[in-house]
Amino acid sequence: MYRGERTVSDRQKNPSQSRPRVIVAGGGFAGLAAVKQLARQPVDVLWIDQKNYHVFQPLLYQVATGLLDPETIAIPLRFCTRKWPNVRVVLGEITDIDLTGRTVTAAADSFAYDYLLLAIGSTTNFFGNGELASRAWDMKGLTMSLRLRAEILESLERAAMETPRGQIPALAFAIVGGGPTGVELAAALSHLVRHEIPKDYPELDTKRIPISLLQAGDALLPSLPPAIQAYAQARLEAQGVNVRLKSRVQHFDGRTVTLDNGECLAAPLLIWTAGVHAAPLIAKLRVSQGPGNRIEVNRNLQIPVHPEVYVLGDLTFHKDALWPQNAPFARQSGTFAARAVLNAALGTGPHPNFRYRDLGTMVALGPMNAVVYLPWMGRLSARGFSGWVIWLVFHIGALVGFRNRFAALLDWGSGLMNRRPAAGLIVSYDKEPASKK
């Protein structure tokens, strides 16, 4: 359908040759939203990703802490496209993009396009600190979350063998980054260690295992109102999390974390959630780029010198717009770009400029506790059990597929009733730090 076909200029000379060809690069939130809009439309869609599944990334921390099985938050791309005859899936890493020639190289083949929706996502940003990149863990992807889960459980097993009864385990966890991911991970890890597994490790006093959350700024959840920030910090501290503000990590030798003020903190396991930057391939493109190697676009999410290319999700940068790198923005950008492509390809008129709608922020703080901030509803906020109900309903609805929604409810329900992690098996993985994935 795509290999060796005529370029877009050839098709313009003879419009009867083929339908418009659209490549959607990336299987994340933006890519899935775009493909949904293009499905069953008079365009040919090629959906390319190096993984054969879409993963609900906001819940990766629950996979890492054993609260959810990995299959609960992932769904195969080909399952999504079963009823979309105009969509074809290609499994392979994108190794080159020729913006001038309008081709994408993946799986050792080259594919021509009339329109390209670029949504290949981001990688963890260690801000140039190679020491942290080689020794810290992250959760950028399902595989890394599974490796981290194995490392957490193995560290508990080692501590159980090495710690005499009545002594404090030589084990500590540190999480870097006080945004939603870091806060949710700290709460989930504390609940796992303090409440869910004590019966499995009677030889360990798990309540004495230090868990630290290190935030470079002066508050957790910096995008939320101060009252919510204070509540989240108080809840974490009540669960035994050591929240340290204005604490920027400078070094990590695998056993000790060194802060910028010279203070040292014992933490054999360091988890990094403090930032992302564009995928390495983006740096090779000859286009204007902003912070984190994101691609500078116009108000229509297009590359100005290549208007047939739309940039979505984490890759998008506009100097006059503070677009966040989160799932709601990714979905909205994917939906917008797909509709704009259909308008252009089918000649139905220009599409209005992209406008991001801030749907708010939801952060889980443990079982039956969450904070919610919804600016579009008159800056409505909720916390505690009511916030958790909103968080639960939203996340169940956002998962793709009935099976995944039912499985998530089953895992969460069993965890609340039995205080047992849904996935407590140690499966052998080639466990490597974040930079060696």
Q: Show which residues are catalytic.
A: 184
Judged on CB neighbours under 10 Å (0-12, 13-18, 19+), 353 is exposed
Using CA atoms, how far apart are residues 91 and 94, in angstroms rounded to an integer? 9
SS3 219: coil
DSSP annotation of 255 reads S
Residues 95 and 106 sit within 8 Å (Cβ to Cβ): yes
Q: Which residues contact 432 (CB under 8 A, 6 or more apart)?
A: 147
Q: Other CB atoms closer than 10 Å to residue 5's CB: what's the count?
A: 16
Residue 10 tokens, joined:
């050839």
Which residue is listed with tokens 């299987």? Answer: 27
Beta bridge partners of 191: none
Judged on CB neighbours under 10 Å (0-12, 13-18, 19+), 319 is exposed
Using CA atoms, how far apart are residues 152 and 133, in angstroms rounded to an integer? 18
Residue 192 tokens, joined:
């796992």
